[in-house]
Amino acid sequence: MVFPALTAFYGALLGIVFVALSLWVTVGRAKYRVHHGDGGQTLLRRQIRIHANFAEYVPLALLLIGLNEAGGADGGVVRTLLVALLAARVAHPFGMLAPEGSLRQYGLRAPAMLVTWTVILITAIMLLAR
């Protein structure tokens, strides 16, 4: 098995994004003096969901991509999947913060989730096809 260097690099970048989101939620909690839950604060609720959504999807996506890379998948395909995942996860918060029903919400949030799901689906199929 080959060390998944591309996945490790992009995983590190995504780890930095995760810490930034974590700090953002922490600052929001301090601002509203909320230690548990969202205190009824709409913005804090969105921040928490953005952070949680990242935590729910990114680890599985990275695992599946890394397994494919370690198993000898084409480097170009692996890099494309990783760039798509990174771009989607950076765009997603901006869509989540957009006003309900706005062009920005539909232009960023939905595509970011579709890309994330597509990356997971493609990598899962790639592993099954091996």
Q: What is 5-129's CATH number?
A: 1.20.120.550
pTM for the model: 0.93
Q: How far apart are CA 108 and CA 86, in angstroms?
A: 13
| Burial letters 35-54, b for 16+ CB under 10 A, else e | eeebeebeebebbbebbebb
pLDDT in tens, the chain (130 residues): 789 999 999 999 999 999 999 999 999 999 999 999 989 999 999 999 999 999 999 999 999 999 999 999 999 999 999 999 999 999 999 999 999 889 988 899 999 999 999 999 999 999 999 9
Domain boundaries, the chain: 5-129
For residue 41, give the 3-state DSSP assignment: coil
Please tell me the predicted confidence (pLDDT) of residue 100: 87
